[in-house]
């Protein structure tokens, strides 16, 4: 999942700051998700899926986006 969030964010043309603003989290939080240090909450996972137009499974690496 760690690289999947980064891939989706970059494909959407967003910076970490852009994504953090959309989700109302800090930039370090987004960075930690992308590096795999922490995982997004279920609520944030759902929001990520909505932002990127994919399923939560796609973010988790369980299917293709």
Q: Tell me the domains of the chain and their CATH numbers.
A: 2-60 (1.10.260.40)
How far is 12 from 8, CA to CA, in rounded Å?
A: 6
pLDDT of 50 reads 98
pLDDT of 62 reads 84
pLDDT tens, N- to C-terminus, the chain (65 residues)? 678 999 999 999 999 999 999 999 999 999 999 999 999 999 999 999 999 999 999 998 886 54
CB within 8 Å of 8: residues ≥ 6 apart: 48, 52, 54, 59, 65
pLDDT of 61 reads 84
**What are the tokens at 61?**
């690496």
How far is 1 from 5, CA to CA, in rounded Å?
A: 7
Supply φ then ψ for residue 37, to 5 degrees.
-70, -40
pTM of the predicted model as reported, rounded to 2 decimal places:
0.89
């Amino acid at each position: 999942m760690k690289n999947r969030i980064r891939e989706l964010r970059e494909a959407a043309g967003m910076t970490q700051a852009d994504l953090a603003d959309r989700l109302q989290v800090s930039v370090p939080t987004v960075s930690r998700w992308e590096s795999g240090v922490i995982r997004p909450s279920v609520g944030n996972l759902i929001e990520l899926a909505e932002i990127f137009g994919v399923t939560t499974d796609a973010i988790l690496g369980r299917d293709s986006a």
